[in-house]
Amino acid sequence: MLKLRFYLRASRNEDLLVLKNFLVTGRPGSGKSTIVAKTVQILIDQGVRVGGIVCPEIRDESGQRIGFKMKNILSGEERLLAHVGHKAGPSVGKYGVIVENVDYMSETSILNSLEHVDVIVIDEIAPMETFSEKFKKAITTVLDSSKPLLAAIHMRSMTGFIGDIKKRPDVKIWVIKPENRERLPTEIASEILKVLRTEKSENRMEHPS
């Protein structure tokens, strides 16, 4: 019922649109992951249950970036996302993408978490991940659900799956700039907490004690 109500608001009456999918974007090195992490910490401090995936860099002993991994926020489980040494399958730049690992993490870290948390976090939605049809399906499921999504998203991609996400009416996008970088975590967390409070209030109205 709740999922349907969010959809009807977005499709029938723009004035009643519920913005519940929150995206952070910016140039490489602008601090997307840092802002997502700080926002997550604010939410956790408020008692919010958070799940999903983050994709930290892998660096060699000299500090050179050689790949990326995917990490389940809830369980800590990790799988390799992409690596300079992976030559089979699709690639982004010098990094070969291990699509089967993205498939696996999309189910275990995103879809499974959706049933157990208040907010889904994805860092990030970018070309590497979108080689996986299961990843795209999982992200769409979260976007269409009543649960808030907090995600970093690739800035330059304006077409295809990533472009379609940016055009959704239930999405709000923050572009990181020097003048807003410090305040964004608090601002984004406030928006998410507002959605959660509204959802909780509506659940009480539907199921009065």
Q: Residue 158 — pLDDT band, cuts 50, 70, 90?
A: confident
In this prediction, residue 200 carries a pLDDT of: 73
In this prediction, residues 193-207 reach a mean pLDDT of 75
Entry pTM: 0.88
In this prediction, residues 171-177 reach a mean pLDDT of 97
Domain boundaries in the chain? 20-56+98-187
Mean pLDDT of the chain: 90
In this prediction, residue 4 carries a pLDDT of: 35
- CATH no. of 20-56+98-187: 3.40.50.300
In this prediction, residue 187 carries a pLDDT of: 98
For residue 104 the two structure tokens come to 């696996």
Which pLDDT tens digit goes with each residue over 66-78?
A: 999 999 999 999 9
In this prediction, residues 147-170 reach a mean pLDDT of 95
In this prediction, residue 206 carries a pLDDT of: 60
- Residue 138 CA, distance from chain mean position: 11
Which pLDDT tens digit goes with each residue over 4-62?
A: 334 434 434 444 567 999 999 999 999 999 999 999 999 999 999 999 999 999 999 99
In this prediction, residue 80 carries a pLDDT of: 98
